[in-house]
Chains A and B, each alone.
Chain A
């Protein structure tokens, strides 16, 4: 096994994803410990070749082929498995995004490299790599060791690399098999924009599974009305169709940073916290005192949301009419 740290650089629509700087920063730190290089892998169709020069890596492996015009899991797996075989890195880092979730397990099975998923910490201790990972919806962390392998890294786990690029760019030939893929890219569909933009709101009343049913959304609407805010939701509520997908906060929804975020019946899965933890003031209402939402909230209560939310609406309305 070599000493290099390989990082897949995710990019979409001509822009490098935020995860790249975080992964490359960690890769350079680890490479300093192993005596290897931080290698950034850029898979592209030519149009994104210029992204290579800005990457904070020791070396950029630039692989060009028309199959990389968009993210196609099969094409990416062929390329990454090939590079892992050729370069024999100690570690391969991908982001725990749609792209990373799609690739990491498949690469692990194909290359027999161990995989640490939902990784939030990585250190080299002599011959072993120690990874800390979120498990059980973030309620527990698992510290594991492996000789090397793959880690899919949660957003925000590592600070982004500082400093500009200037890395050596090495062109690498595309792998065989890209002409015989069993999948084809059809279309990129942008989100609907006709609904309110929750990222532009100062106040969000956000409802989760604990709201129980779409007939109860009204409670949150009333509170939003009293505060001049808008109702948003966690994933299960949007999936159930109780609110439109445009209102979904989190990893696969929108990242929001309002002045006030009131989380009603939201447990706080890592994917949700990723989308709202930077709000100025977070109030959480959840009957489960161990819910992870209380780890990011400023104020919390375990009183039932069906009692607190109407009472708060009433208190705010009373204060407004008294003013």
Chain B
């Protein structure tokens, strides 16, 4: 089985998000970018399948976004067989529709049996890339997966619903699965192993194909910070002061243990 895992670099949400001059995007130039955490879950699930099913190969694909080399080499260090970097000008960010269009063209040439991708990213204003990709390629898809295992020539997907209910669905490949969480937490890889992978090279570079001209169909008027309906009363002082205030607040509400 050949599994392809598209990986995206996304804004680190811990950062303070400032808007660009016309207020239609975040100011990307000074932001820190990290590997989309859901794509890391998809990679882990792919590696788990590879370990359990001899003959499985895993290919990761990423657009040439800030620090993508780190993400792709880390994937190789963790056990991915191939890493492909798609060259192009993506500094301004691209829509999910454009990303899906580029990935669809690349994946068509990769003879994938299965595409595992993070179910979402923090920048999915025009939808999640995985399902857009599936729709573009007319492939079956299942989103919000918390387990993907080989099953009767295809895969069995555990699809998560609210309140802990799970549906199990058998899917014939090739298919696109949007991974919410791998069956285990993404494995850790030491920086030294990532450096080794970098020294060994092995990043395949090719130019990204042109995205379909249609784009997302959305026109962004503005981005803005939401005004909270209410705001917490912030408690000052050191930890002991805060703890004393909180203990009093809890006591005043009659919530202390009888």
Contact = CB atoms under 8 A, between A and B. Distances in A.
Contact of A105 (B135, B161, B181, B230): B135
Interface extent on A, as a size class?
35 or more
For the complex, would chain A's binding face be called helix, strand, loop or mixed by DSSP majority? mixed
Contacts of B178: 101-102
Nearest to B246: A312
Contact of B122 (A70, A136, A299, A301): A136
B78 interface: no
Contacts of A254: 163-164
B200 interface: no
B144 A149 contact: no
A102 B141 contact: yes
B143 A101 contact: yes
Given A102-B143, A304-B239, A260 B255 contact: yes
A12 B161 CA distance: 10
B175 interface: yes
Nearest to B173: A182
Nearest to A318: B247
A253 B257 contact: no
Contact of A252 (B11, B138, B162): B162
Interface stretch (A33-41, A54-62, A167-175, A189-197): A189-197
Contacts of A226: 257
Contacts of A302: 234
A105 B178 CA distance: 12
A140 B26 contact: yes
A105 B128 contact: yes
Interface in B79-104: 96-97, 100
Interface string A50-90: 00000000000000000000111110010000000000000
Interface stretch (A1-9, A24-32, A110-118, A158-166): A110-118
A295 interface: yes
Contact of B221 (A145, A203, A316): A145
A316 B253 CA distance: 14
A81 to B, nearest CB: 9
A14 interface: no
A23 to B, nearest CB: 16
Interface stretch (B48-56, B61-69, B107-115, B211-219): B211-219
A315 B127 contact: no
A85 B199 CA distance: 53
B255 A295 contact: no
Contacts of A235: 181
Contact of B219 (A70, A115, A144, A289): A144
Given A136-B13, A294-B231, A308-B239, A116 B131 contact: no
Contacts of A47: none
Contact of A315 (B119, B138, B247): B247
B142 A73 contact: yes
A306 B122 CA distance: 28
B36 to A, nearest CB: 12
Nearest to A112: B214
Contacts of B214: 112
Interface string A105-134: 111111011111110000000000010010
B6 interface: no
A199 to B, nearest CB: 9
Contacts of A117: 124-128
B125 to A, nearest CB: 5
A101 B170 CA distance: 19
Contacts of B129: 105
B48 to A, nearest CB: 14
Given A240-B185, A288-B14, A295 B231 contact: yes
B15 to A, nearest CB: 10
B100 to A, nearest CB: 7
A183 interface: yes
Nearest to A104: B127
Contact of A102 (B144, B172, B185): B144
Interface string B224-237: 11101111111100
Contacts of B216: 114-115
A102 B13 contact: no
B240 A135 contact: no
30 contacts: A97-B161, A101-B131, A105-B96, A105-B130, A105-B132, A105-B135, A106-B135, A108-B127, A116-B218, A140-B224, A140-B225, A143-B224, A144-B218, A144-B221, A182-B172, A191-B163, A203-B255, A227-B250, A227-B257, A228-B257, A245-B164, A252-B160, A252-B162, A254-B163, A300-B234, A311-B239, A311-B240, A315-B244, A316-B250, A320-B257
3 closest A-B pairs by CB: A109-B135, A114-B217, A191-B164
Interface of A: 12, 70-74, 77, 97-98, 101-110, 112-118, 130, 133, 135-147, 149, 152, 181-192, 202-203, 226-228, 235, 239-241, 245-246, 248, 251-255, 259-260, 267, 281-284, 288-290, 294-304, 307-308, 311-312, 314-316, 319-320
Given A105-B96, A116-B125, 11 more contacts: A105-B129, A106-B132, A109-B131, A135-B124, A135-B223, A143-B220, A145-B221, A307-B239, A308-B246, A312-B243, A320-B256
